[in-house]
């Protein structure tokens, strides 16, 4: 790439059109780390000294997220330090040929960064694996897997006494989900879409620190830092329905850089508060397991009734 790094004058390797910024490899990393620090501050995601559990799947975004937390904790990047206690958790979903590899990737990443790593087998919590679900046919594996992951990550976070559960959702994920919820006019999901969800009894606060970092930025970060995400693809993966929204948003972003970020920020600032007012549905508790639910039996317990030995 032609051009010089704006900060040190060295050879630039990255050009960020929305900021008209050329950066070398090291200053690109510092720029991303600082942006995440600002996001944490702007949305009040973490207070000093809190305990944060990072959901580490072994995919690119979660590896980058944990790496950024290590950078923040080390104070290596000027103006971007954060004093919090970080550990990571990986779920063993019981998917043959995939789960073991993701756990290996996650484990060695944690070892390298000196982060304590928990591995939780969903079979122990749910009584079934995702392979069991797939072999039974019926509901798509991904839809069951999504519910199970949300439930088990929350349970682990609550039981181990963490203050926050951090996930690696990036700007492209969030913008695509937002557009998809607009298109289907799903007011309930729109009113819940947020970079930080507060905790309550038996519900850990969820945060998305990469919320303002784009997918191409996490990809470059992972590449420059030599992070090696799990290479295998989950055998049950299907193209998510948000893919076509991502394509549309990429087109808009190409023509008008910063479209995605202004869409997200505008939504959070001006539209979401109105929706929340209009949609104050009270969360109840599941009669079976006691964890938060919007009906008498939570969707996880319903799944356990279908697939597991209750
Ligand atoms: Fe679970 Fe689907 Fe992801 Fe596989 S692709 S890990 S089944 S959500
Ligand atoms: Zn530089
Ligand atoms: Zn339940």
DSSP string, 162-196: -SEEE----HHHHHHHHHHHHHTT-HHHHHH--SE
**What pLDDT, on the 0 to 100 scale, is given for residue 281?**
60
Residue 308: per-residue pLDDT: 81
Cβ of 92 closer than 6 Å to ligand 1, yes or no, is no
Read off the pLDDT of each residue in 104-132 and give the average, rounded to a whole number. 97
Ligand 1 atom closest to residue 237's alpha carbon, by position in its atom list? 5
Q: Which atom of ligand 1 is nearest to the CA of 134?
A: 7
3: left (phi > 0), else alpha (psi -120 to 50), else beta?
left
Are 278 and 187 within 8 A, CB to CB? yes
| Ligand with smallest separation from the Cα of 155 | 3
Total Cβ atoms within 10 A of residue 180: 17
Who contacts 97 (Cβ-Cβ below 8 Å, separation ≥6)? 232, 235
Residue that has been written with the tokens 């639910």 in this structure: 293
**Is the CB–ligand 1 distance for residue 91 below 6 Å?**
no
CA–centroid distance, 28 to ligand 2, in Å, is 8
C-alpha 197 to ligand 3 mean position (Å): 20
Q: Roughly how many angstroms between the first and final C-alpha of the chain, as a whole number?
A: 59
Which range is least confidently modeled, 147-151, 179-183, 254-258, 276-280? 276-280
Q: Using one digit for the tens of pLDDT, what is the confidence trace for 7-22? A: 999 999 999 999 999 9
Structure-derived torsion over alpha carbons of residues 263, 264, 265, 270, reported in degrees to the nearest 10:
80
Query: Where is average pLDDT lowest: 60-69, 148-157, 300-309?
Result: 300-309
Is residue 273 scored above 60 in pLDDT?
yes
Whether 280 has a pLDDT exceeding 70, the answer reads no
- Say which ligand is closest to the CA of 13: 2
Give the closest ligand to the alpha carbon of residue 12.
2
Q: Decide if pLDDT at 310 tops 60.
A: no
Give the global pTM. 0.93
pLDDT at site 127: 95
Between CA 170 and CA 209 the distance in angstroms is: 8
Q: Looking at ligand 1, which residue's alpha carbon is closest to its atom 4?
A: 234
Mean pLDDT along residues 31-50: 96
CB of 145 closer than 6 A to ligand 1?
yes
Question: Given this model, what pLDDT does residue 2 score?
Answer: 67
pLDDT tens per residue across span 199-214: 999 999 999 999 999 9
Please report where in the chains the tokens 């942006």 appear, as a residue: 35
- Residues whose CB falls within 8 Å of the CB of residue 232, separated by 6 or more in sequence, listed in order: 97, 98, 101, 102
Using DSSP's 3-state secondary structure scheme, residue 80 falls into coil
Q: Cα angle at 279 between 275 and 282, to 5 degrees?
A: 140
Ligand (nearest to CA of 98): 1
Q: Is 237 in the pocket of ligand 1 (CB under 6 A)?
A: yes
Q: Distance (Å, rounded) from C-alpha 252 to C-alpha 194?
A: 22
DSSP class per residue in 20-60: TEEE-HHHHHHHHHHHHHHHHHHTT---TT-EEEEE--SSH
> What is the torsional sign of CA 52, 228, 24, 113?
positive
Q: Which atom of ligand 1 is nearest to the CA of 146?
A: 8
Instruction: Give, in order, the Cα–Cα distances in Å from 145 to each of 6, 139, 280.
Output: 44, 10, 28
Ligand 1 near 146 CB (within 6 A): yes
Ligand 1 and 236: CB distance under 6 A = yes
pLDDT the model gives residue 192: 87
Q: Give distance in angstroms: CA of 23 to centre of ligand 1.
A: 35
Nearest CA to ligand 1 atom 6: 234
Residue 57 CA: nearest ligand 1 atom is 6
- The rounded radius of gyration (Å) of the Cα atoms in the chain is 20
- Kindly report the protein residue whose alpha carbon is nearest to atom 7 of ligand 1: 142
| Most informative mutation of 95, 131, 236, 240 for ligand 1 (most atoms within 8 A of CB) | 236
Pairing of strands 116-121, 85-92: parallel
Collapsing DSSP to helix, strand or coil, 4 comes out as: strand
- Say yes or no to pLDDT of 266 above 80: yes
Give the burial string for 118-142 (b: 16+ CB within 10 Å, else e). Answer: eebebbebbebbbbbbbeeeeeebb
User: What pLDDT is attached to residue 189?
Assistant: 87
Q: What is the pLDDT of residue 240?
A: 82
Summarised one tens digit per residue, pLDDT across range 229-238 is 999 999 999 8
């Amino acid at each position: 790439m032609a051009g010089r790094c704006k900060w040190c004058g060295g050879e630039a390797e990255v050009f960020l059109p929305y900021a008209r910024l050329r950066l070398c490899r090291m200053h690109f990393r510092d720029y991303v780390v600082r942006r995440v620090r600002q996001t944490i501050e702007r949305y009040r995601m973490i207070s000093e000294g809190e305990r944060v559990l990072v959901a580490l799947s072994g995919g690119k975004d979660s590896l980058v997220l944990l790496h950024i937390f290590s950078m923040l904790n080390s104070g290596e990047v000027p103006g971007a330090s954060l004093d919090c206690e970080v550990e990571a958790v990986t779920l063993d979903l019981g998917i043959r040929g995939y789960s073991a590899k993701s756990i290996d990737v996650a484990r060695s990443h944690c070892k390298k960064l000196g982060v304590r790593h928990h591995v939780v087998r969903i079979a122990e919590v749910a009584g079934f694996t995702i392979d069991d679900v797939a072999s039974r046919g019926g509901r798509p594996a991904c839809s069951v897997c999504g519910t199970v992951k949300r439930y088990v990550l929350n349970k682990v976070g609550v039981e181990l006494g963490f203050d926050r559960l951090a996930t690696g959702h990036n700007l492209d994920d969030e913008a695509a989900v937002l557009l998809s919820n607009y298109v289907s006019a799903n007011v309930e999901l729109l009113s819940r879409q947020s970079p930080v969800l507060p905790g309550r009894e038996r519900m850990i606060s969820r945060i998305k620190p990469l919320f303002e970092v784009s997918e191409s930025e996490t990809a470059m970060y992972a590449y420059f830092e030599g992070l090696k995400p799990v290479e295998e693809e989950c055998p049950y993966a299907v193209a998510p329905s948000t893919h076509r929204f991502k394509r549309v948003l990429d087109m808009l972003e190409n023509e008008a850089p910063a479209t995605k970020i202004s869409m997200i920020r505008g939504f959070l600032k001006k539209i979401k508060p109105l929706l929340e007012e209009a949609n104050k549905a009270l969360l109840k508790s599941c009669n079976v397991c006691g964890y938060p639910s919007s009906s008498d039996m939570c969707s996880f317990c319903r799944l356990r009734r279908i697939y597991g030995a209750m």
